Chain A
């Protein structure tokens, strides 16, 4: 059996966060809480991404004194997942911001943040 490593912990944590986030989105009636749920969900995904991209025993993909240029390919983890995570975090923040903007406008108009009050459009 393989030893439980850092990446496994990261992935497990990430999945738990994803599930927590989904639970929040699905059960909380308050829009703000739902947005928090989404944030957790998003963060969970990011952690999973990092976990998947991590390789045991390698170092961060930054060229400094710890990493020799010639040895780089062998010593560092694949930088691409990390780059992707960075982009994903930016996008996630964008979406969260937009959600909050909507929450604000909805509240200004209707003085409520209960998602169940916004079901005029249906069928």
Chain B
């Protein structure tokens, strides 16, 4: 397959992901609102927001890094898409996953985080720095059980290639990691709550304290890019979990159903539990999730 076709299909995949991400965000917000006995937003509100943000003509900037922040951020989100095989068995939708395995996905995620943090930093708003420090703090312990789970998987399937991990889960629901390695899956799912950064793990943007945290200074098309990226991230991270633990997807509809359900878990928890303080959330991940992660490792020793 020549490069051009690959690029075009990657863009197509990206387009689907962005739109599904926006829709999924809308649905979840609607659900959350209903739980709180509110009406909630219209299902197409995210698109309206984006259009408004991108077409804002007034904008200011604080410097080069401030402008590059959203670039890095989006680079992180799109980067994951680039290296993620979306549909199992589809050469067209495996994107550029031949250039690197699971490890690159784990690390390129942080690229966006770092970019956001840097851009927010140059914005110079105190809340941005506070938000970043909380977010980074939480990420450290969130990732630990997740990584242990991934190590357990890598040993179980004897590969770090996502493609092969998905392949190994084909042939029936009982082949999913969820059932072949429930401990690791559970550890990863608990970590996932922190990865999605919904309540109770959303102190970094803590809507009532430090308005929206890191992106406080961002507006117009800068914020548009960040919003676009958020939509991508929600879906692509759900796809990562899907590939790792839930058998992957052989077609787009399956992908949509599975990512919705995975994402729903974190929303569900968020609706039920109030927000943690940062030292609470940092240590929370070092208790049950970490213990599960260690158990997962011990099981493969």
Direct contact of A and B (CB under 8 A): no
- Interface of B with A (CB < 8 Å)? none
- Interface of A with B (CB < 8 Å)? none
